[in-house]
Amino acid sequence: MIKQFFVSLNDKLGLGDLLWQIAASDVVILTLAALVFVCVIVGHFPIISKLPMFAPYAGVAAVLVYVFLSAQAFLVGYRFADGRAEANALREAISVRDGVIAGQRKSLDMVFEAAETAVKQRDEAAQRAQEAQDQIDDYEKRLKDRPNAACLLTPDDFTGGVQDHRKR
């Protein structure tokens, strides 16, 4: 209920988180601890509670010990719960980022694998092209070495004919 009040105040004024940070700060918790200490001394130690200057306040101090202890316990509990919630949110954000990073690594690995495959295919194609060119050069050399002019290549020697690219 108190938290809802501060949350609605945060929605209206933007101060909710700031107020909870202040309320659960070290300064406030240590101040409550000092007040508890003073109230315990004034309210529960017989020598001090019987002194004339503290006697009127001894009963109130004895009650305030429990009020301040309750407030301190609440704020420390809130602070631990808030820290745990923040840690859980950070763990969740980290797991989401780890998932994104893993996905990007997987994509990157796939790209590298595709690049390696492309390089291998390019090298194999270049090797086949070189082998084909070597065969053509060898065949051309053998044809030139033939003594009979009637054995020269003619367009009928090629399936699909020979295209004359000079007529373009």
- Other CB atoms closer than 10 Å to residue 97's CB: what's the count? 10
The parent domain of residue 66 ranges over 2-99
Flag whether 104 is in a domain: no
Checking phi first, is residue 14 left (phi over 0); if not, alpha (psi -120 to 50) or beta?
left
Q: What is d(CA 31, CA 105) in angstroms, rounded to the nearest whole number? A: 51
Q: State how many domains the chain has.
A: 1
- Radius of gyration in angstroms for the set of CA atoms belonging to the chain, rounded to a whole number: 45
pLDDT in tens, the chain (168 residues): 676 766 666 665 556 677 777 777 888 889 999 999 988 888 887 777 777 777 887 888 888 899 999 999 998 888 888 889 889 999 999 999 999 999 999 999 999 999 999 999 999 999 999 998 988 888 888 777 766 666 666 666 666 655 666 555
Flag whether 57 is in a domain: yes
Flag whether 79 is in a domain: yes
pTM of the entire predicted model: 0.50
Flag whether 147 is in a domain: no
Flag whether 69 is in a domain: yes
Helix pair angle (58-144, 26-44), 10° resolution? 160
**Identity at 143, one-letter amino acid code:** L
Flag whether 142 is in a domain: no
Q: Please check whether residue 21 is in contact with residue 29, taking contact to mean a CB–CB distance below 8 angstroms.
A: no
Flag whether 108 is in a domain: no
The per-residue pLDDT for 114 is 94
Flag whether 132 is in a domain: no
